[in-house]
């Protein structure tokens, strides 16, 4: 069944864009890749594939340089999509600036209710740190979101990965207090999945009944199962999720054509 044929009244459709790493200037690039151009190409792909979308999630590293111009570029790009967009910061972002700009644009929220679902938006960024941490305010936000959700199912979103994804070099730069997160989630049958960015690759696993999902970047891709930093030749992409009224989730990653937006092959970091 195609996405166009799947439109119905028993689910909502969410599009995840992540790790766009935009710059404020025109001449900057990430590992030789024009990140604004690749983001817009991924948005073109979304527009060509998704018949109906209800919400867009941008899960961090919106910018590479933390500049206001870069955030405004993302906002302009997101307005091409016919659905509200909400964002959360990543380690490359300026969380305070994102909050200010996002409040004015309606993009910064503690959570969003859509259909029979509540999407909880957590800030795992720590100023000056590549690794992530959920402070007490964020953990309280999660507690409040769960306690007041009523009959809704929950999808919890953050930037940093809370589990080992099989890349040794990324293990130290994930969520540093992941157990505090899982202690709150295990046994909460209304919480169906965790969704994140940061890792620039696809990930889909199950842990004690909780779906664990990560999504490719709209720009540079990282190689899966790598011991040291390594890019991949897979194309940029996005994730779509159908969130059904009964709590089921259908989701896939979609990518641009093979060979699109390849980074410098000799890159050793970014």
Tell me the per-residue pLDDT of 101-124, one tens digit each, with 9 for 90 and over.
Answer: 999 889 999 999 999 999 999 999
Whether 263 is in a domain gets the answer no
**Confidence bin at 267 (pLDDT 50/70/90):** confident
Is position 95 within any domain? yes
The pairing of strands 210-214 and 249-255 is unpaired
Q: What is the pLDDT of residue 258?
A: 97
**265, part of any domain:** no
Q: Domain with 237 in it: what CATH number?
A: 3.60.21.10
Residues 6+ apart with CB under 8 A from 201: 165, 167, 214, 216, 221, 222, 223, 224, 232, 234
Q: What is the structure's pLDDT at 8? A: 58
Q: Find tokens 């004690």 and name the residue.
A: 208
Q: Is residue 267 situated within a structural domain?
A: no
The tens digit of pLDDT for each residue in 213-225 reads: 999 999 999 999 9
CA-closest candidate to residue 204, choices 249, 159, 246, 236:
249
| Predicted local confidence at residue 182, as pLDDT | 97
Is 4 inside a domain boundary?
no
Instruction: Give the structural domain span for 170.
Output: 10-255
**Cβ(216)–Cβ(171) under 8 Å?**
no
**The two three-digit tokens of residue 19, written as one number:** 């790790």
Do the Cβ atoms of 74 and 52 come closer than 8 Å?
no
Is residue 264 assigned to a domain? no
**Domains in the chain, number:** 1
Residue 160 belongs to some domain of the structure: yes
5 located within any domain = no
């Amino acid at each position: 069944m195609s996405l166009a044929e799947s439109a119905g009244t028993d689910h909502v459709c969410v599009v995840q864009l992540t790790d766009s790493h935009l710059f404020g200037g025109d001449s900057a690039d990430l590992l030789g890749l024009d990140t604004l151009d690749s983001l817009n190409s991924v948005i073109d792909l979304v527009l060509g594939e998704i018949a109906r979308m209800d919400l867009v999630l941008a899960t961090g590293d919106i910018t590479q340089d933390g500049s206001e111009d870069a955030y405004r570029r993302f906002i302009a790009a997101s307005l091409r999509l016919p659905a509200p967009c909400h964002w959360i910061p990543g380690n490359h972002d300026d969380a305070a600036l994102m909050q200010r700009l996002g409040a004015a644009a309606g993009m910064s929220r503690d959570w969003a209710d859509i259909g029979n679902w509540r999407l909880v938006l957590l800030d795992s960024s720590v100023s000056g740190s590549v690794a992530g941490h959920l402070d007490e305010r964020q953990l309280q936000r999660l507690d409040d979101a769960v306690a007041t959700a009523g009959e809704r199912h929950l999808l919890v979103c953050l930037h940093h990965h809370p589990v080992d994804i099989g890349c040794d070099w990324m293990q130290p730069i994930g969520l540093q207090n992941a157990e505090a997160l899982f202690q709150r989630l295990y046994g909460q049958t209304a919480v169906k999945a965790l969704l994140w960015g940061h890792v620039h690759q696809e990930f889909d696993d199950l842990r004690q009944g909780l779906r664990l999902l990560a999504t490719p970047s709209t720009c540079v891709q990282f190689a899966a199962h790598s011991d040291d930093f390594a890019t991949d030749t897979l194309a940029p992409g996005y994730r779509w999720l159908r969130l059904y009224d009964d709590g089921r989730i259908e989701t896939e990653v979609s990518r641009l054509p093979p060979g699109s937006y390849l980074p410098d092959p000799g890159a050793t970091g970014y």
